[in-house]
Structure 1
Amino acid sequence: MSLWKGVELHAVIDTVPDAMVIADEEGRIRSFSKGAEKMFGYCEAEVLGKNIALLMPSPDRERRGGYMRRNQETQIPQIIGIGRVTTARSSDGTTFPINLSLSEIKVDGTSGYVAFIRDLTESRETERELHTLQSELAHVSRISSIGGMATSLAHELNQPLTAVTNYANSASDLLKDPSEENLALVREALDECAQEALRAGQIVHRLRDFISRGETERHIVSLSRLVKEASALALMNGDGKKVDFETVLDPDLDEVLVDPVQIQQVVLNLIRNALEAMLESPHKRLIISSWPGKPGFVELIVADSGPGLEPHIADRLFHPFNTSKESGMGLGLSICHTIITAHGGKIAAKPSELGGTAFHITLPLASQGDDDG
């Protein structure tokens, strides 16, 4: 029995609860399980003989014939036998997060690949599947959950601000009778006002220290890998439905020298912001691209087709506590600004060619031997 034929083989494939796809060495689909049909929305007859890149988001889906063979010396050996969090694309264009395991098989001298695919969108085991990735994000995840600090932060700030108010009111009352004794008390009250205001400022500085400091190490890492994993995390709750999601990353600008945890969180934040901005948009399109920046840097752009930024928000976009969200604290983009600046880069928001907003961030490129981690 050949590798690609046989009722018995397909009967086994259809028992796999998740998606199972068999492709030949050229990447042509030779078997497509019932689980794959349900996951991707294609019937087996629609995909047989087509390149497996059909199931991938851009730019992979444009890479037709010879996809597997061309990548044998690059991507494929790195993921054979290893589960990896990445993204896939269904028949309706929806991009969703998956766990991909790829195995190489040989039958009667014929080579091929078996892909086991698990949809992570609503999986009960999502937390376990992403445990390793999320544990690496431990430091910056404190930033993502900073809304939970709102009560304690408000309590800390309330004390010095209340003292400022009380001292100012007392000084105002004392000035109604500007006797020498009262003027001395006014000066004392104003001195106390200044001290309490400084204390409030120190509380805010401690918050910024909490966010920006810590044990961080910079490494030479793949920008495309960071973007792919951040995309998978951002799409975890099905937020990619009806979104035309595309990545156009320059392979010659892939290696960057960064703290991968922090930069991944920045990209995750920008993607989530873009998805939220497009909730009411009739056509939802999100493109992540990279271009040469200033010498030694790569420019990463996250562009959406949302409504764009209101002028009063755009002017103070990266200031703390500036937000257009009803329940937001306005710290996400401020934190992104802190992280990118600490890497020697810049972050800016500009009108997107898609009609919405495009966030531009610059990151330092890596040179051979620059890894200081």
Structure 2
Amino acid sequence: MPRFDDPTAPRGPIGDHIWPFLAAIATSSNDAIVGKDRTGKVTYWNAAAERLFGYPASEIIGQSIRRIIPPHRIVEEMSILDRVGQGEHLAHFETERITKDGRTIPVSLTLSPILGHDQTVIGISDIARDLSETQHFNGVLQQREALLSTILDSNPDGLVVIDESGMIEFFSRAAERMFGYGAAEVIGRNVSMLMPEPYATAHDGYLRRYRDTGQRRIIGIGRVVAGRRKDGTTFPMDLQIGEANVPGKRCFTGFVRDLTDREDRDRRLAELQAELMHVARLSELGQMASALAHEVNQPLTAVANYLRGMRRLLDDNSHPLLRQGLEKVAEQAERARGIVGSLRRLVKKEEHPRTAEDLEALVIETAALVLAGKNRRVALSLDIASDAQIAFVDRVQVQQVLLNLMRNAIEAMERSPEQRLKVSAQAIGERIEIAVTDTGPGLSDAVRARLFQPFVTTKAEGLGVGLSICRTIVEAHDGQLTVASEAGKGTTFLFSVPVNPPAPAFDLPT
């Protein structure tokens, strides 16, 4: 590039105006602009080049460009001179240069040939941009990305990020290990692939409802749900959902903890099971004590009376040992009656607090407990009406009823070719009617007539108190537990729970 006061610069009506304009641009540019001839001798050096390389123009013009070329870049510079000297343009060519104080700095070069009047290459223009800050920023960014990646990879909890439509955008290493998929297999696909039914079908509806209404029913709330691995097996997991807003889009983060083989799983499931079974144990003991007192007291009384009658038939002086033995047996029969009565008095019903509960969440959590970790072929479907979302119940007791009915339904379908379990709920007046339906073999009329009686069971190892307890719980909620069954087609258990708390009782003035 000729110097701007060079006599070879273009002149004439156009050149006289254009050339000073171009000179002003080059002088004020923030990029270093260097002109050199085809041998590498510096012919132009603007103010930005002075600041970048440390050489004033008066010191560098006329000198070889090699003064700022690192020794290991000399061959590269010779190649550049040759290529651009033949008319080639090079853009964003990253290399290194040496400053006057000896520092090696990264630069990005744009190199163009300078043409003479006869269109032959008479020099080369270098536009150099310092990459030090850019590389420093990129280095810091890479370090942060590496740190974040390391943190995510070392976190035992899986992280899944989805967009508003449910498509997976990020899948951590822990998530890969947990679900058995590689990130490349799931990114760009719907997150429902990681869920068993009925969660998979219902998931997009949850997203749409959130987008349409803004109701944050799942954001920031931990819940136990079921996940589906690549091999089709299901497992219980603790799911925490968050929302993130990035420029131009909104996404959702799901932190997933596998509860299958961890102490947290054992503790969490144990807590849930303990809550569910606590009422069951108390109710079961009460039912057993009541049934035992009713069924056993009369035979024990009869035994005691017969024994005393037999003792009186004996002469006072005959068979003293036999009389003594009969008296001891009668005493033990009375003692047995006392034990049964004490057991019945020991177990007393307690009032449990009732609260407004999300019925759908209650059913989903119960289903996760019933199905998690079991290699079953059961297809579960939920149909919770929009007006049947909230019920005013004792959460633990109603979950115990659902757990018992769903578990019974699954066991009843073990040999059925089609195993479908449906849980539905609809509002009827001030109550919600819940139905648990299976496709098992159904119940005979004889079994159905005695089904809710204590100690009546269709299982070889069952105690026959589960449904009796369920009926007691439902009746405590002012409802009824009923059953409808058709041989060969399945069974449906129906019960209802209140929507609102009971009205307070007021004493009438006297």
What interval of TM-score do these two structures reach, taking the shorter chain for normalisation?
0.7 to 0.9
Contact 1:304 1:354 survives alignment (8 Å)? no
Q: Distance in 2 between matches of 1:20 and 1:354?
A: 45
One-letter identity of the residue aligned with 1:47: V
1:164 to 296, 302, 305: 302
Report the Cα offset of residue 56 of structure 1.
3.5
One-letter identity of the residue aligned with 2:396: V
SS at match of 1:112: strand
Q: Which has the larger radius of gyration?
A: 2
One-letter identity of the residue aligned with 1:224: E
Gap regions ≥5 residues in structure 1:
177-191
1:302 to 419, 436, 449: 436
Q: Distance in 2 between matches of 1:321 and 1:146?
A: 12
1:222 aligned partner: 358
Contact 2:277 2:400 survives alignment (8 Å)? no
Query: Compared with structure 1, are the counterparts of its residues 67 and 53 closer, same or farther at alpha carbon in structure 2 (3 Å cutoff)?
Result: farther
1:84 aligned partner: 223
Gap regions ≥5 residues in structure 2:
1-137, 315-330, 506-510
One-letter identity of the residue aligned with 1:233: L
SS at match of 1:245: strand
C-alpha RMSD over aligned residues? 4.4
Q: Distance in 2 between matches of 1:346 and 1:28?
A: 44
1:327 aligned partner: 461
Contact 1:271 1:302 survives alignment (8 Å)? yes
Query: Matches of residues 1-373 of structure 1 in structure 2 within 5 Å?
Result: 13-40=152-179, 42-63=181-202, 67-68=206-207, 70-71=209-210, 77-90=216-229, 96-108=235-247, 110-130=249-269, 133=272, 136-137=275-276, 139-143=278-282, 161-168=299-306, 171=309, 206=345, 210=348, 213-236=349-372, 238-239=373-374, 241-293=376-428, 295-351=429-485, 355-366=489-500
Report the Cα offset of residue 64 of structure 1.
6.7
Q: Distance in 1 between matches of 2:283 and 2:175?
A: 34
Q: Distance in 2 between matches of 1:173 and 1:75?
A: 82
Deviation string 1:147-173 (CA, Å, 9 cap, x unpaired) is 9x989x979987874443232355479
- Higher deviation after alignment, 298-307 or 64-73: 64-73
One-letter identity of the residue aligned with 2:305: Y
Q: Distance in 2 between matches of 1:16 and 1:267?
A: 35
User: Runs of at least 4 residues of structure 1 off by over 6 A?
Assistant: 6-11, 73-76, 153-160, 172-176, 195-201, 369-372
1:181 aligned partner: none
Report the Cα offset of residue 333 of structure 1.
0.4
TM-score by length of 1: 0.73
Instruction: Report 1 or 2 for greater relative contact order, CA contacts < 8 Å, sequence distance ≥ 6.
Output: 1
Question: How many residues get paired?
Answer: 345
Query: Compared with structure 1, are the counterparts of its residues 362 and 156 closer, same or farther at alpha carbon in structure 2 (3 Å cutoff)?
Result: closer
Contact 2:300 2:336 survives alignment (8 Å)? no
Q: Distance in 2 between matches of 1:371 and 1:219?
A: 15
Contact 1:289 1:301 survives alignment (8 Å)? yes
